[in-house]
Amino acid sequence: MLRKFYLKNKHWIASTFVLLLVIILMAGCGSRETSSEPGNSKQENNELETHIVTDHAGREVEIPAKVEKVFATGPIGSIFLYTLAPEKMIGWNNEFSDSAREFIPEEYANLPVLGRWAGADVTGNVEEILKLAPDIMINVGSITQEWVDLTDQIQEQTGIPVLNIDGSFFEIANSYGFLADILGVEERGSLLAAYATDVIKSIEDLRERVETGTQRTVYYGSGEQGLSTSSRESINAEMLEIIGAKNVAESGGGNMEVTIEQIITWNPDVILISDTSGAERKVYQMITAEDSPWENIAAVNNNRVYTIPNLPFDWINRPPSVMRLIGAKWLAHTLYPDLYPIDIRDEVKEFMKLFFNYELKVDDFEKIFHE
């Protein structure tokens, strides 16, 4: 009976068998394709987890595609990072002064102090930094071979990707754009870069209008006696040349000690006092006191002795950070009020609101300008 059924329906049975075989094969292929999808997605995700960026020293550095935590190797970088993306900071390089704390929200001011690699003393706490696991570190400063070597050294020491970022005054706008892209805060970066571009253009315009021979000569003093200075070769005093002034300490290999006799010989039009230790007011009072050995210098006779504002951080140097943007405006107006007429209070208000998200109060001006 089965034989008769088979003979009668053999073509139908064969067709059905072939169809079932095809379905099984297709199901197998589909199953293999489906099972491979997670693997493909994982591979694609792995490819997107990191990417290569070229930093300002031309170094190719592999960094995470999404950067959430950052540490700066020195104060220049920390101030730069704080003004751009404070929520991504894991710590500072040194303690704040009580005066500076007033301008920084507690949640950020209380971030841990993790040391630094910039400066004479290396205090970077590698163990603590690794515990906080930053995605990247940034080394902001001059793009010199010495600085690049330091970056390589820090990266090797910590195992964390470290980026060189140009900290020079004329590259501030580009540097904001560079780091903003990496951190995913492009809109914020564009705002800060636009401000920096406008300041730099205004200073370049001023320099063109300052005629040779009419430049203000400036002595830039620091230290407890005001007898430490920085020559033209030093980044500490470069803002003088940038705004069209002339540093009386023409040479000397950077930072140096001088005598009052030398300063009298230079006879500067303007004296600037810089010192973040709080000694600057004492130095100012000493220089401008009656019967002071400084009294016959032109700057003292003409009441052109100024202490450099340093809140929340120094406006010119110590460190030479993005504070130099408002510092350049203050210095240009102080030295050339007719050529650079601005309301410095309005300018400081705008700067502090944009860069520090801080609304200045009336008594803040007294602290900033030592009024």
Which CATH number covers residue 109?
3.40.50.1980
Confidence of residue 38 (pLDDT cuts 50, 70, 90): very low
Instruction: Read off the amino acid at residue 278.
Output: G
- Residue 217 near residue 246 (C-beta atoms within 8 A): yes
Based on the fold, state whether residues 218 and 252 are members of the same structural domain: yes
Based on the fold, state whether residues 181 and 310 are members of the same structural domain: no
pLDDT in tens, 196-221: 999 999 999 999 999 877 899 999 99
pLDDT for 305: 96
Query: What are the angstrom distances between the C-alpha of 179 and each of 48, 69, 138, 187, 326?
Result: 19, 13, 9, 12, 21
Based on the fold, state whether residues 184 and 234 are members of the same structural domain: no
Count how many residues are written for the chain: 371
59-65-66-69 Cα dihedral, nearest 10 degrees: -30
The mean pLDDT value for 77-101 works out to 95
Q: In this structure, is residue 16 part of a structural domain? A: no
The contacts of residue 25 (CB under 8 Å, 6+ apart) are none
Based on the fold, state whether residues 174 and 66 are members of the same structural domain: yes
Q: In this structure, is residue 20 part of a structural domain? A: no
Q: In this structure, is residue 75 part of a structural domain? A: yes
pLDDT in tens, 296-351: 999 999 999 999 999 999 999 889 999 999 999 999 999 999 999 999 999 999 99
Based on the fold, state whether residues 168 and 227 are members of the same structural domain: no
Question: What whole-number distance in Å separates Cα of residue 364 and Cα of residue 366?
Answer: 5
Q: In this structure, is residue 192 part of a structural domain? A: yes
Based on the fold, state whether residues 179 and 265 are members of the same structural domain: no
Based on the fold, state whether residues 268 and 121 are members of the same structural domain: no
Question: What whole-number distance in Å separates Cα of residue 60 and Cα of residue 38?
Answer: 31
Query: Mind spelling out the 3-state secondary structure of the chain?
Result: CHHHHHHHHHHHHHHHHHHHHHHHHHHHHHHHHHHHHHHHHHHHHHHHHEEEEECCCCCEEEEECCCCCEEECCHHHHHHHHHHCHHHECCECCCCCHHHHCCCCHHHHCCCECCCCCCCCCCCCHHHHHHHCCCEEEEEECCCHHHHHHHHHHHHHHCCCEEEEECCHHHHHHHHHHHHHHHCCHHHHHHHHHHHHHHHHHHHHHHHHCCCCCCCEEEEEECCCCCEEECCCCHHHHHHHHCCCEECCCCCCCEEECCHHHHHHHCCCEEEECCCCCCHHHHHHHHHCCCCCCCCCHHHHCCCEEECCCCCCCCCCCCCCCCHHHHHHHHHHHHCCCCCCCCHHHHHHHHHHHHHCCCCCHHHHHHHHCC
Q: In this structure, is residue 30 part of a structural domain? A: no
> Domain ends where: 144, 177, 201?
201
Based on the fold, state whether residues 196 and 216 are members of the same structural domain: no
Minimum mean pLDDT among 44-48, 122-126, 152-156, 344-348: which range?
44-48
Q: In this structure, is residue 255 part of a structural domain? A: yes
For the whole model, what pTM was predicted?
0.85
Based on the fold, state whether residues 185 and 297 are members of the same structural domain: no
The residue range of the domain holding 182 is: 52-201
**Domain count across the chain:** 2
> Domain ends where: 160, 182, 201?
201
To 5 degrees, how large is the angle CA 173–CA 230–CA 310? 55
Based on the fold, state whether residues 273 and 310 are members of the same structural domain: yes
Based on the fold, state whether residues 362 and 246 are members of the same structural domain: yes
Based on the fold, state whether residues 357 and 231 are members of the same structural domain: yes
pLDDT over 80 at 47, yes or no: no
pLDDT over 60 at 37, yes or no: no
